[in-house]
Amino acid sequence: MKHTSTRDLYRYWNERRGRRLAPERADIDPTAIPRVLADTFLLGVGPDANLAFRLAGTRVCALFCRELKGELFVDLFGRRSHDSIHDLIGVVGDEAVPTVAGVTGHLDEGDSIDLELLLLPLRHRGRTDARLLGVLAPIPTPAWIGAMPIAALTLGTLRHIGSFEDPPRLPILPSAMPAGRLRHGLVVYDGGRTT
């Protein structure tokens, strides 16, 4: 994770979830994360089953030079990224897998900007696909923010992330000693070819 808002929100989300797949929506307290609110957004399922912005931070809105509340998340992306975004939303929401991705913002003038996207599942009424918490942060913050809108986003590389505090447990393998004999740090098994 490159941006401090991404790291800080993920750390807070991870603390709030504990040993659960995702924290409850009510577990998230905006006053606990004041430094990341400008880059943060909340998505919710609309009547057409697509995720729309319920809330968007001031810097997120400034990137597009408009209030995003009520707009579909997928509509920020160019048509060529729509299938990838729907797949990504499905993985994050249905499987409760946090994901960080590189995103490119394209301006009408032909310029582009690199951004970092973080999507985190939230439980809402027993579901993890009804609410997503996220960050969309420019790397670095451009001087023109709020003056020129991003026309479309393109999804780049992505990485599914898990808890850094809970590394995967490796299986315990039985000792090789009962079936063979130890000779100079090697296990020798009897059998095989006879001379």
195 inside domain: no
User: Which pLDDT value is given to residue 112?
Assistant: 92
184 inside domain: no
90 inside domain: yes
The number of residues making up the chain comes to 195
Which residues have CB under 8 Å from 186's CB, separation 6+? none
Per-residue pLDDT reduced to its tens digit, 101-123: 999 999 988 889 999 999 999 99
Separation of alpha carbons 52 and 23, rounded Å:
20
Residue 93 pLDDT exceeds 60: yes
- Residues 35 and 5: beta-carbon distance below 8 Å: yes
100 inside domain: yes
Q: What is the DSSP pairing of strand 186-188 with strand 112-124?
A: unpaired
Residue 173 pLDDT exceeds 60: no
The CATH number of whichever domain residue 17 belongs to comes to: 3.30.450.20
Q: Rounded to the nearest 10 degrees, how much is the dihedral formed by the CA atoms of 168, 130, 117, 135?
A: -100
Number of independent structural domains in the chain: 1
Where in the sequence is the domain holding 139, given as residue range(s)? Answer: 4-167
Separation of alpha carbons 181 and 19, rounded Å:
43
Q: What percent of the chain clears pLDDT 90, i.e. is strictly above it?
A: 58
